[in-house]
Structure 1
Amino acid sequence: MTKQRRLLSDDGLEQVLRRDELTVEDVRIALATVRHGFKADELLAYARSLVPDADLLDGSALRALARADITEDEASKEIQKNRAFCARLAGLLPSILRLFDSRNNLAGIFRMIDDCYNDFHVTAVSRRKDRQTREIKEGLADAIKFSLKAAEAIENAKLVGTEYQSFCEVYFLDGKNQPRYLDDLVEQLRMYSGVAEIVDSLIDLNPPGPFRTLYLSGNDARTTVVEYAYHMCTMWNGPRLVTTPGSQFADLCSFLFEAISGQADEGLSGAINRYARSDERKQWDREGQEEVSEDDNFLGLKGRMRFAQENLRLYTAMARRSTLSEMAKTLVALRLQDEANQYEEAKNTYGPNQVYLSQMNSEQIATMFTDAIESWRPDKQKDFADFLESKKASLDALEIKLGESRRAARDATS
């Protein structure tokens, strides 16, 4: 029977990461903690009963194992990779963390290293960005052509109309999201073709930051490491990005690359230079400059106004494209009017008080509810926590039941 690994509290995790030297088991416990919270739940316990060290799987792989989407052998191979990752981190993590002046959230840096590990291996097996973009645009062209062809074919098959309405009524029992008449379906297909045209145009316009349509990882895994290193440095006062070989930033990138890939003494100067000049770096810096105090009462409204302004610029540029169909042009015009209305509404709502919950941003809402919950009596807080845990436990139990039934069916046919 494999000994079950204990998970850590917030304070316990910080204490481990502050050590000058780390053992492999220290890193394994820390990794299991950031991936699965601070206590073992039913899903984790079930996964541990299937394979040793299941707590080293990330959340999606753990759920896939419980549901029998992956086999125990596949899970074991993934666990072996994570064991090797932990072994490398045991030697490299103290050197990485010492490069940061801010020491008040080492767990945050460690979590980002884990995110980098996962993204690196996705990027490493991805195709080139230009190839991915070309395939997506080809798919959109097919979608436009066949949705219009389907709309025309449905219109010509006139006998279906009455039966379609009758079957919609029994198929969509709640009455929601149902095209009531066949003409509605035809109109939706034509509207879909217009939306697909707009998405295709958005890819060509390639707007920056949050307005970008395609978020493609490409296959440049080294640049992924550099990007994560830069994000960590700006968030936790790490080394400044300079393109000079042998700089502290270059050291950080090399340590991070070795921990994640297992390849030592790799030069990343090319990737550092590419990222230093990239749109992604410029966008990250721009977003950092735009950050305002979270106590700003008007933060939500300012964000809505800025977002509407960017969309107005984007869709105005799109409206000038002569290749758009009449449907796409109509949709763009409607979107422009809606964005203008949202901007005016936010502008006119701007005032000294926040009256409605919809005026608050997500952080302010979270703070408000946290303060409210903390004001409850301890027994009421416990009842609320138990209620949330019971809902999560119900979902975990369903995942486990599905996995057990799948394994039983596999065993019966093997």
Structure 2
Amino acid sequence: MKRKVSFITFGCKMNQAESQAMAEKLSPHFDIVFEEKMGESDIYVLNTCAVTSEAERKVRQTIRRLKKLNENSKIIATGCYSISDPEELNKLGADVVLGNFEKKQIDRFLYEEGIYSDKHFWLHNEKYDILVPNEPYDNRTRVFLPIEEGCINSCTFCKIRFLRGLKIVSLPKEEVIKSIEKFIEKGYKEIVLTGTNLGYYGVDNSETLEELLNQIGKRFADKEIRIRITSLYPEIITDNLSAILNAYPIFERHVHLSIQHFSDKILETMNRKYNRKMIYTAIENLRKYDSKFSITCDLIVGFPGEDEKDLGIMFDSIEELKLLKVHSFRYSPREGTVAAKMKNQIPGNEKKSRLSQMNKIADLSRKNYLNGVIGSRVKVLTENRLKDVFFGYDEYYIPHNVQFHEKKIEKGQFFNTMISSLSKENKGVVSNVL
């Protein structure tokens, strides 16, 4: 009887893709499950996150819980938190601690004990492979395709570049195309391109993201698939890139922008490479070709020195731009970063209050955007059934409850629908199959 290994994943899409790739490495010799947290597995692989203190808290909580449920299970911690503070995780109960480099050879460390995470792996490894999975994470409908790793920015609040690498590694164009071909052959309909900082794709091999997307568009234009991009910075959304994303039907009419703030003062303090005007220009470029082009983004409240004027600028911008969704965060000081040592830190209760205000405005922005698409004909990729409706997303990344009546609907298929109304709590829309 095979031993059972459970993969529990925290944080980004890169982690999900890498967890799947690790699971595939171990699957010939182990019974693989995902997100099993009841102490029923022999080995737990926790792919950790360190982007916020809350993300780290969830990892610690999970380790304590698993040890309490099954003291005989082996816990392997890997990922960003494992590089950031390996000693703490080891002390909490992680039997093996691996970094982002070591996870690529997880099969070598299964029977080891102790700390192996390398904080400076990018300094002495000339070339290391990007972990590319062959299947979707946990048998889901969309498959994540990592095409870039590493970040060379120096944002004052972020330590992920030290944990993911200060050297850019890109998957060559030919390999990206081959991977997409392989996923299509297997019947997958949605492929998500992901990376640590996608804007730096090709810095290491004289390629560019624009060239890659244009080639993907030309090569697969006639295929019934959807290509989604996880996250981009506003400064790389040129008119040419916008034209490419709007030119080919396979590209989702949606981009997630890593914005963080709209106040020029705060953006400068964060050491971002763009300002509010550039954010607006990026969104105007995208919507010039399709007025319904949807935008989601990350925003932080409570950054050191943020005042009422900065908040006003952010709140006004959210409302004006009709954002589909805001991933909102309270500023979380990260040890070793410049921002953690800045003066004018905002008290925790005030950050909480500001977050609540922003969420209310973001909800209104979402409602305004969704009201503007009622009556639109769109194509929904179904994911799972919820009682008498199917749940899925359209090409604008709008969540749908699809009413299908007599028509047979199956998971993982595209259906033409018409949006009839907003769903409960304005989280998405209700649509009918045409």
Normalised to the residue count of structure 1, the TM-score between the two structures is 0.28
**Larger CA Rg, structure 1 vs 2:** 1
Structure with the bigger RCO (C-alpha within 8 Å, sep 6+) is: 1
Structure with greater strand percent: 2
Normalised to the residue count of structure 2, the TM-score between the two structures is 0.27
